[in-house]
Amino acid sequence: MTPPTTFVRVCGLDELEEGTPKRVEIDGTPVSVVRTEGEVFAINDICSHANVSLSEGEVEDCMIECWLHGSSFDLRTGKPSGLPATRPVPVYPVKIEGDDVLVSVTQES
């Protein structure tokens, strides 16, 4: 049975600067929250290639780049666009309620 989706408030919308990732933790899960292209995305903060924080990388359009070896991950799907990473990073559903940004890590989107 699929567990119920629990959304947690992670920050206010006005705390997110366009193109600057914000690292948050939800129940011990590190998440990078990114506002770009008029949307807000949530992706697991750990690169699938090594234990590196994606929120320290650059955002361009809907991609976040790992600063260590340069793989970029699609914020919509978590899929890497190129080597050395080959595995996707989990992405999570985001809800905007008023000025609040809510993310659920109980279910990968």
Contact footprint for ligand FES (CB under 6 A) = 47, 49-50, 52, 66, 68-69, 71, 84-85
Length of the chain: 109
Q: How far apart are CA 49 and CA 9, in angstroms?
A: 28
Q: Which is nearer to ligand FES, 34 or 85 (CB)?
A: 85
**Sign of the dihedral defined by the CA atoms of residues 50, 36, 74, 28, in that order:** positive
Q: For residues 91 and 54, is the Cβ–Cβ distance under 8 A?
A: no
CB of 98 to ligand FES, least distance (A): 35
CB of 52 to ligand FES, least distance (A): 4
Question: For residue 99, what are its two tokens?
Answer: 């000025």
CB of 39 to ligand FES, least distance (A): 23
Q: Which is nearer to ligand FES, 47 or 101 (CB)?
A: 47
